[in-house]
Structure 1
Amino acid sequence: MSIKENDVVFLLGAGCSFDAGIPTVNKMVEDIENSLLKNKDEWKGLQDLYFYIKSAILYADGIFGKFHNTVGIEKIMNVLSELEKKEKNLVYPFIANWNNRLIDLAGANFEGIRKLKKLITTQLINWIKLEDYRAADYYRHFYEFQKEVGKSIRVFTLNYDLCFEYAKPHGSELELGFDENRTWNSLRFDSNNQDIEAGIYLYKLHGSITWKRDKDQGHILKSSVHPEEEPDLIFGTDTKLQSIDPYLFYVYEFRKYTLESKIIIVIGYSFSDEYINNLIKQSLEHKPERVLIVVDIRQDEEKVKSEIQAALKLKSSSQIVIYSKSAKEFLENDLTVTEISKYLPKVEDAFL
């Protein structure tokens, strides 16, 4: 059975770039705690504040019985972004006083919060920016799969890195949404746009290290050739996700194409983003014939399936298929029309 346009949609998480040498969000936290806070002078003075923030996150999870939750870099940055707003935070009028310990560590004006956030942002770029992108060459198999399908495919990624861009083979078409002036335009994702020839439409749901806001032109989004010092990124369910393009548009597109798809392929995603999880859950419940293929390096297939079922709050795990291997192994060995088409519904009108 052939794969038609929009039959397959992809979602990529940090694990997809791990084989290229980019650390996962949890590994980034380990690097902060085991190296940066101990060895870098500019970090040492913020150690107590960092530990306070992380402890507060774990405490909040524990209140709801989530004792086994890990704290990734995105969750830490999301909390810092909310604290940075201080009195401008939406819930501030309902707070009697900031915690005295927080004020002691962050300073009366929360300058410590801003400094810690800036240090992590700078380090984030260092983690993500590869000196040699040949290690990400396995990403070219997305392009090969698209050529084999013969139709455009939609890829949504939670990653800020440039692996997808640098792995593009000569002659392949990748649409990122930026015009000849490097200005973002949603119309470039319209399949009916005759001016655009795209093999792959790439949606960077949380931004990119090469994105910036042009403050002199109404905060429009621009793309740079090289990583920005202060790139336009969001962390988890940041408020920008709900209010500013391209993030609002990308979420709408993710909803649209997951509901149109027959197969959702998830690679290297931890299922820790409730916003994304709800959209995947909605898609699976909308059509029982829809299949969720998950590529996860852990070898206990049943445990992984059970955890995903719990994260998505599904009544059954029957729609979930697990490939217990790395992203690199899956892309090199399994991402073919012959393999993926096995999961297409046997009855063609199941999605009518």
Structure 2
Amino acid sequence: MMKNDFTYILKETLFFTGAGFSKPAGCKLSSEMLEDIEKRSQLDRDSIFTKVERKTIKFILSCLEYHASWRSLESDGKYNYVPNIEEFALLLRRIKNRENLLPYPVTGNWSDKITLLEQEFNNESVSHELDLYSSIESKIKTKCYNDWLQISNLDFIQPLRTFINDNMSQTTEKLDFFTLNNDLVLEEAFKDENAVYTGFVSNKWVGFDNIQDNSYTNSRINYYKLHGSLDWARMYDGTIVKSGNNSDENIEIKPFLIFGHGVKIYTVEPFFNLLEEFRKSLIKKNYFIVVGYSFFDPHINNLFFNELSLHQEKIMFIINPKITENISVKNKDTGEYFEERESIKILKKEKKSEIVNYLENIQKNPFYSENSEFNIKKISSDSFEYIPLKSDEFLSNLKSILVLIGKIKNERVEQIKIFE
């Protein structure tokens, strides 16, 4: 494939990343974050959480374990569900707002346990500015997240830098990266080149409406952080800033990020604007490369699946070895389930039903969204390819994957012509 062919494919491609993308940098996966919360709940000394907060965390963890086991049993052994930090956040929020929405499985005499924990918290010797559940959430966001998202290695990003230098030096095209991650991996990896634009100019949020204006940025990557970032803050006047150069007394929320899935605060800027940019990009692009995302957010899934269902020429490439750990593919012979194209191992067409059923099961589950009956349940096996690569392996094979996209594109064009 020539460089101009790469340029065309890149212009038609949207990159989307989940927690698995940042794993090689040393950042924790969402399941690992939950494991760390469990360890912190067992500390008797030097814990950021009070004694009652630790008891509450253990209670919520027991609820999550119950529900994960129930979902796994309901699938008749097809799927192995493991709780994660997003589910912890979701249940924490539902318990806090239980007068309006009673969470499952927190029913029966368990509700008495919640009341007792709240009473204990209010009776602790130390005074509390926040309620029990808001206090736990605040400590997770302000203290745990910094530990969980510590960067220890950025070498795995080098193939992306090399690809940009080798294939994009003669073009003004930019890579469009959307992410649910709050870490600073891409920003740190490209800080010397100032190659990543996140919507900020002079540390103040201006958005992406004028990104074609080179006076704003000479970046090579437009990076849309749908759930905010560790270094974002909202001031009392509503201004969104990079938090490093501002005094805490002027900051209302820091870090300014969405914790967990479920009910999204998309009507609040800049999250509303970022989601709209995501929706517009899905409409504009033909190829969606999804890296390190496990599809446990039905709100995001609906946007992907809706666009794929409306346009048969669009294709999603799922890059994530973890998904096969949750379905029966992991127990199958590699040769039976996968084939090799352009030196890339992909799931055979006749085996894609495993992924289809897995995604449908998530979309139907009321635990992930209050109105699960409205979620898009089905995704055609023709609308995606599954590639079981880790993110560092993906970046090392990016050129081969783009070649594969080009060949699959040509095959789709021929198929559409035949049916027409």
Give the TM-score range, shorter chain: 0.7 to 0.9
DSSP 3-state at the match of 2:389: coil
Rate the CA distance shift 1:242–1:98 in 2: closer, same or farther, 3 A.
farther
Offset, 1:156: 0.5
Distance, in Å, in 1 between the alignment partners of 2:274 and 2:139 is 28
Matches within 5 A, 1:1-352: 2=5, 3-4=7-8, 6-33=11-38, 35-41=39-45, 42=47, 43=49, 45=51, 46-57=53-64, 62=70, 65=74, 68-84=80-96, 99-107=111-119, 111-121=131-141, 122-130=143-151, 132=152, 135-147=153-165, 148-149=167-168, 150=171, 151-168=173-190, 170-171=192-193, 173-180=195-202, 182-186=203-207, 188-196=208-216, 197-215=218-236, 218-225=237-244, 230-237=254-261, 239=263, 241-298=265-322, 300=330, 301=347, 302=351, 303-304=354-355, 306-308=357-359, 310-311=361-362, 313-335=377-399, 337-346=402-411, 347=413
> Amino acid of the residue matched to residue 288 of structure 1?
Q
Distance, in Å, in 2 between the alignment partners of 1:266 and 1:255 is 15
Rate the CA distance shift 1:241–1:114 in 2: closer, same or farther, 3 A.
closer
What is the RMSD of the two structures over their aligned residues, measured on CA atoms?
3.4
DSSP 3-state at the match of 2:14: strand
Gapped regions of structure 1 (runs ≥ 5) = none
Rate the CA distance shift 1:144–1:343 in 2: closer, same or farther, 3 A.
farther
Distance, in Å, in 1 between the alignment partners of 2:50 and 2:276 is 42
Rate the CA distance shift 1:194–1:136 in 2: closer, same or farther, 3 A.
closer
Aligned length: 337
Rate the CA distance shift 1:102–1:144 in 2: closer, same or farther, 3 A.
same
Rate the CA distance shift 1:163–1:200 in 2: closer, same or farther, 3 A.
same
Distance, in Å, in 2 between the alignment partners of 1:72 and 1:286 is 32
Rate the CA distance shift 1:279–1:220 in 2: closer, same or farther, 3 A.
same
Offset, 1:194: 4.9
Rate the CA distance shift 1:143–1:283 in 2: closer, same or farther, 3 A.
farther
What's the TM-score, normalizing by structure 2? 0.70
Distance, in Å, in 1 between the alignment partners of 2:34 and 2:50 is 15
Rate the CA distance shift 1:315–1:266 in 2: closer, same or farther, 3 A.
closer
Contact kept, 8 Å, 1:271 with 1:277, in 2: the verdict is yes
Offset, 1:9: 0.3
Offset, 1:82: 4.7
Deviations 1:130-165 (A, max 9, x none): 2x4xx1232244444445253112100111111101
> Amino acid of the residue matched to residue 318 of structure 2?
V
Offset, 1:70: 2.7
> Amino acid of the residue matched to residue 197 of structure 2?
E
Rate the CA distance shift 1:339–1:214 in 2: closer, same or farther, 3 A.
same
Rate the CA distance shift 1:91–1:232 in 2: closer, same or farther, 3 A.
same
DSSP 3-state at the match of 2:205: coil
Which structure has the bigger radius of gyration? 2
Distance, in Å, in 2 between the alignment partners of 1:201 and 1:139 is 16
Offset, 1:221: 1.0
DSSP 3-state at the match of 2:154: helix
Deviations 1:195-220 (A, max 9, x none): 333321101111111111111xx222
Contact kept, 8 Å, 2:86 with 2:261, in 1: the verdict is no
Rate the CA distance shift 1:230–1:292 in 2: closer, same or farther, 3 A.
same
Rate the CA distance shift 1:208–1:311 in 2: closer, same or farther, 3 A.
same
Rate the CA distance shift 1:157–1:308 in 2: closer, same or farther, 3 A.
same
